[in-house]
Structure 1
Amino acid sequence: MKILVLNSGSSSIKCQYFIDQKSVSSALVERIGEEESHSEVKYKEQSFSSTAPVSDHHQALEIIFSMLKESNAISSIDELDAVGHRVVHGGSNFSEPTLISQEVIETIRSLIPLAPLHNPANLKGIEVISKIAPNLAQVAVFDTAFHQTMPEYAALYPIPYELSQRSGIQRYGFHGTSHAYVAKEAAEMMDEDLNTLNLITLHLGNGASATAIKEGKSIETSMGLTPLEGLMMGTRCGDIDPAIIPFLSHNLKMDIDSIDKMLNKESGLKGICGTNDMREVVMQAEQDNTLSSLALEMYTYRIKKYIGSYSAVLGRVDAIIFTGGIGEHAVKVREMVCEGLEESIGLKLDTVKNEIASTQSRSIHKLKSKIQLFVIPTNEELEIVLQTEKIMKNLTL
């Protein structure tokens, strides 16, 4: 099948073109709405780019299709079998990838209050494709869908029950496409049926989340109503005492928008040591920078706490998986997270394997470790292709 995977953001559109589950081309338009928008397409060993004003998402997608044609990646939009869209928030409405209809569009629109930064941009991509190619099948793959198997006692917050039901305030989780992909990859590496495995998956990038997977299903995850809850991240605070918010408002006279901006964009690694680039944090920590060392200790300590709690929730852990930019490349982070876990849960990190630089999926545990440990590069775009193909094949049955 020929599938275009689209990730439409507020000021950018990124896409990858797959033929029979193999990525053959990629394209992007950045800084939409600015004077110097950047457009680029890569096909085979060639790259084509331009800098010119791009007024809106409609023009951006027209440019992308034009560049894909000019590069000979595609000859016509008509040759596509479907477009798979990354949609951040599906609420409790969507637990599976879904063929997009007008009803689905309106449901995604109704969920904008839960994801005001992401769902409007995701909708723009869907709506523009509908105008450019009205007969082309579109499939929505939701970041939240994988976590809809969480039991109610894990998904609900201990606030008045009636308020939860009326407002939709509950824990939804994110990065589901990534967690689902690496869980399946781990099962293949272990030569086991995913539905028999208990896993802890750690998606560590600028955004970070942990998920407890029991017999192939998500039963707990660190992000909640929004991507702010959970682990310490690049610029997000993660778990904090909620009373900090009224404290800041009453005592420091900060308004709610300033507090929200601080917690989302000025906290985490950046808030502690001034940078959200883990490479810089590790380098500065190795040079005895006190705040960078503190940031690294805080970051890995909180991951370790989640591993401990998820081990208790799962009862038995078969494997732990590191993924995401930091999870895949930060040797020091993996080392610090695993330190001390041999005595508590029987996890034995092989430090030699851990230090080998590789872009391939690999194990980094010792042979006598009770729990297997993997580094698995995530591929959310391929997972969207797989989910989209599943929907398309079901249509023809």
Structure 2
Amino acid sequence: MARSMLVINSSSSSIKYALYHLGRVASCIFQGSVEGIGTSKSSISHKSISTAQDLKIMGKCIRDHEAGLKKVMDLLQQPQNVCTVGHQVVHGNEKFSKPTHITQEVKKAIERAIPLAPLHNPANLEGIQIAEELFHCPHIAVFDTAFHSTIPQLSYMYRIP
């Protein structure tokens, strides 16, 4: 059975995703996006890397992130082979400086960081909660703020007189 990892970036009105085969070298199998969630102009773009086939579904209202992720699941060949789901999360406050296994405590910390990223963290958290219901496997959060935690303090601090 081939193992794969699904990577999700759930934002306020879209879901971007990629599915990677986990062999000796990870390779991308599918990538795509669900755009315009909650509007009459919703669309899905899905690309198979191995066959270079593009699928574009336009003009169908995808009412919410749950419907969008279910459509993604339908497009993935053998979604039962997903053994890990990675989630991009915009703000992890100062608490997270590396990829983190998602637990209830981590979800609460993401929620507490909503005032720091009010346009992103709510959608990131919603994507996590829905994906946990659809994919029963470990879920990992990768925080954008973790990238900035590795640069020298002088480089990320604002100079204020």
Q: TM-score, normalised by structure 2?
A: 0.87
Which has a greater percent of strand? 2
Which has a greater percent of helix? 1
Q: How does 1:259-338 map to 2 (within 5 A)?
A: none
Q: How does 1:216-227 map to 2 (within 5 A)?
A: 217-220=150-153
- State the secondary structure of the residue aligned to 1:218: coil
The superposition leaves residues 252-306 of structure 1 with CA deviations (integer Å, 9 ceiling, x where unpaired) of xxxxxxxxxxxxxxxxxxxxxxxxxxxxxxxxxxxxxxxxxxxxxxxxxxxxxxx
Per the alignment, residue 84 of structure 1 pairs with: 86
Which residue, out of 61, 73, 87, partners 2:69?
61
Q: How does 1:186-201 map to 2 (within 5 A)?
A: none
Distance 1:84 1:117, change over 3 A: same
Larger-gyration structure (1/2): 1
> Could you say what the CA RMSD is over the residues aligned between the two structures, in angstroms?
2.0
Q: Distance in 2 between matches of 1:218 and 1:36?
A: 40
- How far apart are residue 106 of structure 1 and its match? 0.8
Which residue, out of 52, 55, 72, partners 1:48?
55
Distance 1:106 1:24, change over 3 A: same
- How far apart are residue 147 of structure 1 and its match? 3.0
CA contact (8 A) 2:8 2:87 kept: yes
- One-letter amino acid of the counterpart of residue 40, structure 1: S
Gaps in structure 1 of 5+ consecutive residues = 69-73, 149-216, 230-238, 243-397
- State the secondary structure of the residue aligned to 1:24: strand
Which residue, out of 97, 100, 116, partners 1:95?
97
- State the secondary structure of the residue aligned to 1:25: strand
Per the alignment, residue 141 of structure 2 pairs with: 140
Q: Distance in 2 between matches of 1:81 and 1:147?
A: 28
- State the secondary structure of the residue aligned to 2:13: coil
Per the alignment, residue 125 of structure 2 pairs with: 123
Per the alignment, residue 110 of structure 2 pairs with: 108
- One-letter amino acid of the counterpart of residue 7, structure 2: V
Per the alignment, residue 158 of structure 1 pairs with: none
- How far apart are residue 146 of structure 1 and its match? 3.1
2:35 is equivalent to residue 13 of structure 1: no
Flag as ranges the 4+ runs of structure 1 deviating above 4 A. Answer: 221-224
- State the secondary structure of the residue aligned to 2:85: strand
Q: How does 1:247-258 map to 2 (within 5 A)?
A: none
Q: Distance in 1 between matches of 2:15 and 2:138?
A: 19
User: Aligned pairs, how many?
Assistant: 153
Q: Distance in 1 between matches of 2:154 and 2:42?
A: 37
Gaps in structure 2 of 5+ consecutive residues = none
Per the alignment, residue 30 of structure 1 pairs with: 35
- How far apart are residue 219 of structure 1 and its match? 1.1
Distance 1:98 1:221, change over 3 A: farther
Q: Distance in 2 between matches of 1:12 and 1:223?
A: 29
Q: Distance in 1 between matches of 2:28 and 2:37?
A: 25
Q: TM-score, normalised by structure 1?
A: 0.37
- How far apart are residue 27 of structure 1 and its match? 1.8
- How far apart are residue 31 of structure 1 and its match? 0.4
Residue identity (%): 39
Distance 1:222 1:56, change over 3 A: farther
> Higher relative CO (CA 8 A, sep ≥ 6), structure 1 or 2?
2
- One-letter amino acid of the counterpart of residue 35, structure 2: E
- How far apart are residue 128 of structure 1 and its match? 0.6
Q: Distance in 2 between matches of 1:16 and 1:2?
A: 10
CA contact (8 A) 1:147 1:220 kept: no
- How far apart are residue 145 of structure 1 and its match? 1.3
